[in-house]
Amino acid sequence: MPKVSVIIPTHNDIRYIAACLDSVLSQTFEDFEIVIVDDSSSDCIKDVIGSYLNKGIRNIRYFHLGPCSLSAARHEGVKSSSGEFVAFLDSDDIWLPDKLRIQVKLLETDPGLGMVYSNVYFLIGKRSFLDNRKCYSGMVFDKLIEGNFICISTALIRRECIEKAGNFDVSLTNAEDYDIWLRIAKLVPVSYIDMPLVRYRCHRDNMGRGFENDIRYRIYVLEKLLAREDISEEEKKRIRQMISKWNFNLGIYLIKKATRLNPVSALLLCGWFLSLSRIRSVLKWRKIWKEASCAE
Residue 21 is part of a domain; what is its CATH number? 3.90.550.10
Whether residue 189 sits in one domain with residue 223 = no
> What is the Cα–Cα distance from 251 to 135, expressed in whole angstroms?
28
Q: Report the domain count for the chain.
A: 2
Closest CA to 8 of 82, 61, 57, 56: 61
The range of the structural domain enclosing residue 74 comes to 4-207
Mean pLDDT value across residues 59-81: 92
Which pLDDT belongs to residue 278? 53
> What is the Cα–Cα distance from 221 to 145, expressed in whole angstroms?
10
Closest CA to 167 of 54, 272, 72, 61: 72
| Confidence bin at 67 (pLDDT 50/70/90) | confident
Mean pLDDT value across residues 276-286: 52
Whether residue 21 sits in one domain with residue 154 = yes
Whether residue 180 sits in one domain with residue 62 = yes
Residue 18's DSSP bridge partners are: none
Closest CA to 127 of 19, 194, 201, 17: 201
Whether residue 139 sits in one domain with residue 274 = no
Segment 85-118, tens digit of pLDDT: 999 999 999 999 999 999 999 999 999 999 999 9
Which pLDDT belongs to residue 228? 95
Whether residue 18 sits in one domain with residue 147 = yes
Are 174 and 213 contacting, i.e. CB atoms less than 8 angstroms apart?
yes
| Confidence bin at 37 (pLDDT 50/70/90) | very high
Whether residue 224 sits in one domain with residue 178 = no
Segment 43-58, tens digit of pLDDT: 888 899 989 988 878 8
**At a CB cut-off of 8 Å and minimum separation 6, what does 170 contact?**
68, 69, 71, 72, 75
φ and ψ at residue 130, rounded to 5 degrees: -75, 145
Which pLDDT belongs to residue 287? 54
Segment 169-189, tens digit of pLDDT: 999 999 999 999 999 999 999
* Mean pLDDT of all residues belonging to the chain: 88
Whether residue 276 sits in one domain with residue 168 = no
DSSP H or E run through 9: strand 4-10
Whether residue 121 sits in one domain with residue 72 = yes
Which pLDDT belongs to residue 208? 47
One-character DSSP codes across 190-245: EEEEEEEEEEEE--TGGGTT-HHHHHHHHHHHHHHHHT-TT--HHHHHHHHHHHHH
Segment 185-240, tens digit of pLDDT: 999 999 999 999 999 998 766 544 578 889 999 999 999 999 999 999 999 999 99
